[in-house]
A = this chain, B = another copy of it.
Amino acid sequence: MSGNTFGKSFTVTTFGESHGLALGCIIDGCPPGLPLTEEDIQVDLDRRKPGQSRFTTQRREDDVVKILSGVFEGKTTGTPIGLLIENTDQRSKDYSNIKDQFRPAHADYTYMHKYGVRDYRGGGRSSARETAMRVAAGAVAKKYLKAVAGIEIRGYLSQLGPIKIESVDWEEVGRNPFFCPDASKVPAMEEFMKALNKEGDSIGAKITVVATGVKPGLGEPIFDRLDAEIAHALMSINAVKGVEIGDGFDVVNQRGTQHRDEITPEGFLSNHAGGILGGISSGQDIVAHIALKPTSSLHIPGRSVDVQGNPVEVITKGRHDPCVGIRATPIAEAMLAMVLIDHLLRNRGQNADVHAGVPVIPSQA
């Protein structure tokens, strides 16, 4: 009810503030028998880690994760998995300048109205640092999905400000700091970010995530559709303002004859639907896109008010991402993984018999 838990069958509950002692989470519902080490989780944390290029915040956190429970002799036991990351770089800087200000486009003002109090150090709970635990929990989900269900979750940056990718080479994604799958666009992105840094401004981005290997029949109809829960999960990431499944907003000007993915015994002829029909997976790739807003922690002054309602000029000093989208790919992957494992476990054992006799159409002809 207070919003710090995600999922029903694979539930992830997180805690921790940007400048508190630690971040942590409890994963409840991970099936027993999954081989799991801290290294499995660390790999994804390192992908999200700040300070890896000059285009992300210079905060230096090692983000070393510890597994406190739920794993015995190298395998999960079915009991809750407690994960912990201690905060090591809680720079005890002076917050007096922003303590009493509502930074524009931040959660300062809304948190004050909700709670009457806020931990102003580094944004407290509203900091993007919270997403570290999403990535940690998502790594467990991804491992299970791949090992047990043959489902793979991957993502990439599909647009950085005005620069759109034109091709997808999965190998390329890990080779540049942008998670960009189109090598030809990387130099332009570097130029763009350098200029932006000089100006002290920030920029938005678009991320695409894809799940391959999802069998048909996963999801629930009506309110808890797979696409609805994916939208929920992705929109819950800091800075996300839009979610699309498949063709997304392009459908507004599509015709039915164009949009409907025709079926042949050899496979679907297209995937405008993004792998979901009636809220349930069709067996095609599940494809989703998100829009991330430009961060509002800028070196360029902006107008706002203080906690007494007086006008102030706000400047954000210190370490910040000029494009939060750059590090968002692993977070989006994590959220998609959480939705899929959650539905997979909810539906566990459900389709065993009914599948018998229903033809399986290949994902793509």
Give Cα distance in the complex from A262 to B300, angstroms: 12
Tell me whether A361 and B305 are in contact (CB under 8 A).
yes
Tell me whether A72 and B124 are in contact (CB under 8 A).
yes
Q: Does A307 contact B (CB under 8 A)?
A: yes
- Within 214-235 of A, Cβ neighbours of B (below 8 Å) are at 215-225, 227-235
- A15 and B26 in contact, given A32-B115, A348-B348 (Cβ under 8 angstroms): yes
Q: Does A42 contact B (CB under 8 A)?
A: no
- Number of A residues, CB within 8 Å of B: 163
Tell me whether A259 and B302 are in contact (CB under 8 A).
no
The interface residues of chain B lying within 8 Å CB-to-CB of A152 are none
The interface residues of chain B lying within 8 Å CB-to-CB of A302 are 257, 260, 262
Q: Does A146 contact B (CB under 8 A)?
A: no
Tell me whether B32 and A4 are in contact (CB under 8 A).
no
Least distance between A78 CB and chain B CB atoms (Å): 4
The interface residues of chain B lying within 8 Å CB-to-CB of A292 are 251-252
Tell me whether B259 and A358 are in contact (CB under 8 A).
no
Give Cα distance in the complex from A22 to B21, angstroms: 16
Q: Does A269 contact B (CB under 8 A)?
A: yes
Tell me whether B69 and A20 are in contact (CB under 8 A).
yes
Q: Taking CB as reference atom, which chain B residue is nearest A118?
A: B77
The 7 tightest CB contacts between A and B, nearest first, are: A349-B349, A107-B278, A116-B354, A3-B220, A113-B217, A3-B224, A309-B359
